[in-house]
Structure 1
Amino acid sequence: MSEPWNYTYTSPLEGYEGLEPLPNEKAEDGKSFVNPPAEKKSEAYTSFIAPITNDIRGGFDIHIYFLQTDAAETKFANELWERIRREFPELRIYRLWEKPIGPHCLCMFEVNLFTPEQFGAFIPWLVINRGPLSALIHPNTGDDLRDHTQRATWMGQPLPLYVGGMRKKQD
């Protein structure tokens, strides 16, 4: 497993050093803070931030898992796969793998997201429509080990991955 302490991290404030302190004024809801307006909208609205890829590989992979020996779960996965293909035809959607493949311990299918707009539309949709299935969401940065572990997010029950053969990006 790729442990967080094996990596170095840049400060989240990199590029924002030396600015005026933020106000402590509360917003209308009485809980959140009033933020000063930005000079321009974050570029993260239109392209994934480095080192996430914005190329043919896609910025994010979503792996949606099902247990092939459970007929109801397999049927649901097939129906979800078809619905995604119909509702999100612009996404790259792979076949249903009816046996474990690569680092994935269960049957699954994969969806690739290429833009923050697709991510913003598909992930909330999947939260509501994935039913009993678990989903792994990970970026593509070229460091497969870190992407599938330390940078990964799960919907539903996290599942084990076989990461022994994955490559770590050499800095």
Structure 2
Amino acid sequence: MADPSTYNYPSPLAGYENAPPLPVTFNPDGKSFQNERTGKLSAAYERFPEPIENGQTSGGFDAHVYFYRNNPEQVQFAKELWERIRREFPELRIYKIFDEPVGPHTLAMFEVDILTPVHFGAFVPWLVINRGPLSVLLHPNTDDTLRDHTQRATWLGKEVPIDIGLLRKLLGKAK
């Protein structure tokens, strides 16, 4: 995993510096706050936030679904999951099943490109429930592929090693 201290992080409140204070009134549950409705949804419902890609080229996010090729139950489950995703989410870009490690991915896998925030909102919760024993690397696509696969990565299930050295080599970066 990339060292988070090597990156800069803009303030999450950028653009809200002069906003009025938030209300401190609780909802009836006594734990959550009442938030004033603005009548306007966040732009993140329509577009991924910068610097995530918003085009149809590679999609805003990739989901890499891993399985152990020497485990017949996982192989079968992965094939069934892949077919179910193709049937239930045909609007997503779904790649072939790679029975061997490919690129920086150290296990067999298949990839699903998530193209829009709406796709993300539908597919990721579905995948959380239906991934079974398989691990999934979920990462954004920005102009920093190394960071996307490390510091910005999210895992569903057990984390799987990624060959960062090979990824750096493929990207033409030193160490």
C-alpha displacement at 1:163, in angstroms? 1.3
C-alpha displacement at 1:46, in angstroms? 0.7
Residue 137 of structure 2 is matched in structure 1 by: 136
Deviations 1:100-149 (A, max 9, x none): 11111100000001100000000000011000000000000021100000
Classify the secondary structure of the residue corresponding to 1:75.
helix
Letter in 2 for 1:136: L
Classify the secondary structure of the residue corresponding to 1:64.
strand
Looking at structure 2, the residues matched to 29 and 94 of structure 1 have their Cα atoms a distance apart, in angstroms, of: 45
Alignment length, in residue pairs?
169
C-alpha displacement at 1:85, in angstroms? 0.3
Residue 90 of structure 2 is matched in structure 1 by: 89
Structure 2 length as normaliser, TM-score? 0.93
C-alpha displacement at 1:57, in angstroms? 1.2
Looking at structure 2, the residues matched to 134 and 157 of structure 1 have their Cα atoms a distance apart, in angstroms, of: 6
Letter in 2 for 1:3: D
Looking at structure 1, the residues matched to 15 and 172 of structure 2 have their Cα atoms a distance apart, in angstroms, of: 27
Residue 35 of structure 1 is matched in structure 2 by: 35
Classify the secondary structure of the residue corresponding to 2:164.
coil
Residue 108 of structure 1 is matched in structure 2 by: 109
Detail structure 1 runs of 4+ shifted over 4 Å in the superposition: none
Matched, 1:8 2:8: yes
Residue 58 of structure 2 is matched in structure 1 by: 57
Looking at structure 1, the residues matched to 121 and 19 of structure 2 have their Cα atoms a distance apart, in angstroms, of: 30
User: Comparing 33-42 with 46-55, which one deviates more in the overlay?
Assistant: 33-42
CA pair 62-168 structure 1, distance change in 2 beyond 3 A: farther
Percent of counterpart pairs with the same letter?
58
Tell me if structure 2 keeps the 8 A contact 1:143–1:168: no
Matched, 1:66 2:76: no
Classify the secondary structure of the residue corresponding to 1:19.
coil
Gaps of 5+ in 1: none
Looking at structure 2, the residues matched to 87 and 28 of structure 1 have their Cα atoms a distance apart, in angstroms, of: 38
Deviations 1:6-44 (A, max 9, x none): 000100000000221111100122110011122521100
Looking at structure 1, the residues matched to 147 and 5 of structure 2 have their Cα atoms a distance apart, in angstroms, of: 12
Letter in 1 for 2:157: G
Structure 1 length as normaliser, TM-score? 0.95
